[in-house]
Structure 1
């Protein structure tokens, strides 16, 4: 039987030739559109062309008045930002007004916000991964009815999604987690496998970690015997390090001391031993242990030293974060949520495909995101720089000014900003970064501007590296590597998820994606408050070139994997995509630096409706999760309709 390419990609038929996986078959015919955003490699995330207009507005204080420009288009709703929150807002608004004209504007060349899809195609290998928002965390415990209902309407079945994750795949290969110690910070370069500890958002069942006994594991560390003995005691002895304090006094004290200072001042381990823990919080908290409390964050991360302190039980949300399996994962992360929202709002983009299995390998037609005859349109590479007239009454349309794609030179440097356009809408939803809103909506009260500016987002890198095989990981006996002091704190093999016709590589001989996490960190950051560290890290990310990032990646992988004699970066690295999030995940309440009651007041002040403008995004709740983005979109739409 002959299968047309169109039928093959749309899922109406599938033939598997003996000895070839569907990914092998897709091969060279997998990318039908030029410059298809998910397939672009190199420096992505906050890519060149996505932030220059915003920097001109916020850093250079440029003004972009639109009063003298003609109104080019009119809409019922304009949404600033096409991440999960902006797309969800369009979905909720359209449900209330089926014939409403909606336009989403986004500064990136792809939709989804932090829920980015990365694709690699090399020879006959097609591989996809997540460039940001990773998985559904504890959906059965942490998701609101609103978020769960949206997933249901998008035909996302979380029970079925759970079954697509093969939790025993790496354990059956007897793989554990390991640690790489570098000689610049420890006694020697050394790799130690068999980490027996768990932390938040663990996808491996507790009984399948293949960890060594903690004493055996630590005794392999390249540290002095004094430091190793101190770490062993920290993990094995249940001791009250604050015996003179009552329970409530301990809680208050531990909330205001960093985990780093707790280890140094109360446990008494050395600066050298503390280095082992410094990046343990990078992946989950996007900051080091010098800026997380010894109470809330440390307990969620299952860091040692608190079991003998007679502390109150952890709250349900923290327990769920620690104990729930982290297995609700699409091969491209939460980009599938964004893609399903787009396919529902603009069905021509996907030829009508709207289910989580078929959409995995569906190629979106980006030329159909912004069609004149569509009720919902999505315009990329469009940075909103002004929103005005919001407080002039519901009969007065809101003016929106946006700059289209800037002109860059061959090195990605700005030549000139894009053309300024003026459009109008009855309603506007700001689903972009909170800290940018005061520069765009200048009519806001000063108190609200100041509240919005306090959401200083955390910078980070999510780097995807396609390697020709993963035999070196098999020889090391690990599926994940923690490095306390190297640029990338985490290097791990891709999650073992099969969905639709997409299959995780089962053979170590096959190419696989590595997921690498880096939080920009400088020695001078240690001890500073979280917002200051985030700003310093952002500057580092934006002033580092791709070639410098690539050098770090190659050096680190070569250093760790080359001793196996089964890896050489020059031939085994097939592709690199660096998702640079200079404005990464939303600021979150940190008891070291924030008062909870004051923070809640700031949050409520920041997201107040302003005339015909309301505010969405996870920033609006200081909570960097997909479910929060959905909930805040729903609240924002409800606020618009409460005014009607």
Structure 2
């Protein structure tokens, strides 16, 4: 180990590897999660939320799917299991589909959910850390319920049935905690991108502290003008001309050509959109920046487009583990034996018994670490039952069902479902996903943040473009750290992209980069960036980091591309093309229907629920079982 790695603490013993309460889950191991579930290492040994190291698209979750795409086939052994419904994908959409099917179609239905990951929830994953006998919780993907005040009726009703009262967020959120400690937003400028390391406290965007930064005086002036957002850069243009401008260029190009930003200011702004949209300013449409209220349009007299939300924005509701609690509530509702309790408060600390998920005799079963590799109607008859083959533990098995709901990635379907017409396969293949990385770092304390007066930072040139203390939420028996002397979970975000390429190509390139980036590389980037940011506050990466969980999502936000132009469906409701590939892709196919966010080209939780509802009610009478 080189001296720098040693200084950063790469040799220190922390919670960084893929362990499930002491049972190692390594790539190539013969002891797979399914065997752990069924007692090979004891039921208590299998508890995925406590696993650290590389999570999300973890080793073992994607290799079978990739091999299938490349042409590998498996001979499946028949389990002779038959179900009323098999759901492929146990994310929020798949779980909601099973719940709605039981509620609306057949209360005593026999349902099996199959998922390629070692935990349920899809992108709504839970990370737990244990330190000094205390458990701290973080989110591994979907962060919160966004704009619950504006949720569509289908999704709002489901949340209400699960006992989620989104209007009570203020009861749990310690909104005054960080301000009471003098913590605020900041920008961190790194030496590699801007000449020297500098933490500028103040607004998350522009602040007067930038005047003491390594940025050129002209850059500071440009950023101040941009964030004051009072100037009309399209003065003298008609409405038609204004729309033509913003619909024809990227936000970066708009800021360069019309707002007059120089290269250094553009470099500062490049990652501004990554946290929300998983794409940089160079491929982010100017019209979307305007619709989203990004700076640069404050003085422009645009007409409000039809369908643009107005009002209070709808607020948020954040569980300590993000929307993993939504998934956990769905699972506990359908499989009550999995955990005690009956409220949205007690779900936060409920310890799930994963051995109950796939219990013989249970009406609803969830089978993890099971990648579906073949899906077809028996004998090619679209009125017949459906045979489903999946791989688990390097062995293929098959089950059958009267009906199937696909709640996985649309791009996989052309490779595993031979019943699908060519045109529908082509539409499914136009689905594209944006890669994301949500990283949680367990700190032994957060005194350096208090000393620096820092709550969160935008880092425009760093590997992680945002660093923030966890959102302070206490619910039920879970108490958020109140003192900087206590341990804390720190949230970092990284979007792997290839600036300069069209957005969809950036997503594909970023996905390849992500899957070939080792955990050691992530850990080194974490330690180096935090050390450089926080050292003036007394932070020591080797001493203060107690655990790391990297949640990589090679298939993150759901989008669709237009085959002719390559345009991405950022907002489906503003799609300008006659063809809407996601609608063609989700057309019912015999006894198979399609849920998931690919079916709406919208990665939001409410869309996942809406698509589950649509898929359930698109099912016909079903095959005889």
- Residue 342 in structure 1 maps to residue 325 in structure 2: no
Partner-residue secondary structure (3-state), 2:194: coil
Deviates more, 1:253-262 or 1:236-245: 236-245
In 1: Cα distance, 2:360 partner to 2:544 partner: 46
Contact 1:258–1:592 under 8 Å retained in 2: no
Choose which of 526, 529, 547 in structure 2 pairs with 1:556. Answer: 529
Separation in structure 2 between the aligned mates of residue 220 and residue 508 of structure 1, nearest angstrom: 28
Q: What is the aligned counterpart of 1:537 among 489, 506, 510?
A: 510
Query: Which of 496, 502, 509 is the aligned partner of 2:472?
Result: 496
Cα deviation for residue 163 of structure 1 reads 2.2
Please give the per-residue CA displacement for 1:460-491, whole angstroms capped at 9, x wherever unaligned: 11000010111111122121011001110111
Contact residue 503 and residue 568 of structure 2 kept, 8 A: no
CA contact (8 A) 1:262 1:294 kept: yes
Out of 233-242 and 480-489, give the one that drifted further. Answer: 233-242
Structure 2, gaps ≥5 residues long: 1-41, 570-574
Closer, same or farther: CA 431–277 of 1 in aligned 2, 3 Å: same
Residue number in structure 2 paired with 1:371: 359
Matched, 1:573 2:545: yes
* Alpha-carbon distance in 1 for matches of 2:279, 2:229: 27
Q: Give the 3-state SS of the residue equivalent to 1:359 in structure 2.
A: coil
Equivalent residue pairs, number: 574
2:288 aligned residue (265, 279, 296): 296
- Using the alignment, how far apart are the partners of 1:271 and 1:526 within structure 2? 15
The 3 A distance-change label for structure 1 pair 71 and 498 is closer
CA distance in 2, matches of 1:520, 1:389: 39
1:64 paired residue among 51, 55, 74: 74
Q: Give distance in 2, aligned partners of 1:313 and 1:177.
A: 31
Find the partner of 1:458 among 434, 439, 450: 434
- What is the CA-CA distance between 1:592 and the residue it aligns to? 8.9
1:29-428 aligned at under 5 Å gives the runs 33-58=44-69, 60-64=70-74, 66=76, 69-95=77-103, 96-141=105-150, 143-195=151-203, 216-236=208-228, 238-300=230-292, 302-313=293-304, 318-319=309-310, 323-326=313-316, 328-351=317-340, 353-389=341-377, 392-393=380-381, 395-405=383-393, 418-428=394-404
Q: Offset of 1:374 from its aligned partner?
A: 0.4
- Distance in 2 between residues matched to 1:110 and 1:262, nearest whole Å: 43
CA drift at 1:605: 0.3
Q: Deviations over 1:423-461 (max 9, x none)?
A: 110100000011111112122111111111111111011
Using the alignment, how far apart are the partners of 2:74 and 2:405 within structure 1?
A: 20
Please say if residues 391 and 612 of structure 1, whose CA atoms lie closer than 8 Å, have aligned partners that are also in contact: no
Check whether the contact 1:586–1:619 (CA below 8 A) recurs between aligned residues.
Answer: yes
For residues 170 and 218 of structure 2, what CA distance do their matches in structure 1 show? 44
What SS does the aligned partner of 1:185 have? helix
SS in 1 for 2:467: strand
Match of 2:557 in 1: 585
8 A contact 2:85–2:402 mirrored in 1: yes
Residue aligned with 2:548, SS: strand
Deviates more, 1:600-609 or 1:147-156: 600-609
Which residue number in structure 2 is paired with residue 206 of structure 1? none
CA contact (8 A) 1:117 1:332 kept: yes
Q: Does the Cα contact within 8 Å between 2:348 and 2:476 map onto a contact in 1?
A: yes
Q: Deviations over 1:156-188 (max 9, x none)?
A: 111223421122222222221100001111132
Normalization by structure 1: what TM-score? Answer: 0.85
Specify the SS of the correspondent of 1:487: coil
Structure 1, gaps ≥5 residues long: 1-30, 198-213, 406-417
Within 1, Cα distance between the matches of 2:83 and 2:204? Answer: 56
CA distance in 1, matches of 2:487, 2:579: 47
Kept after mapping to 1: 8 A contact 2:388/2:399: yes
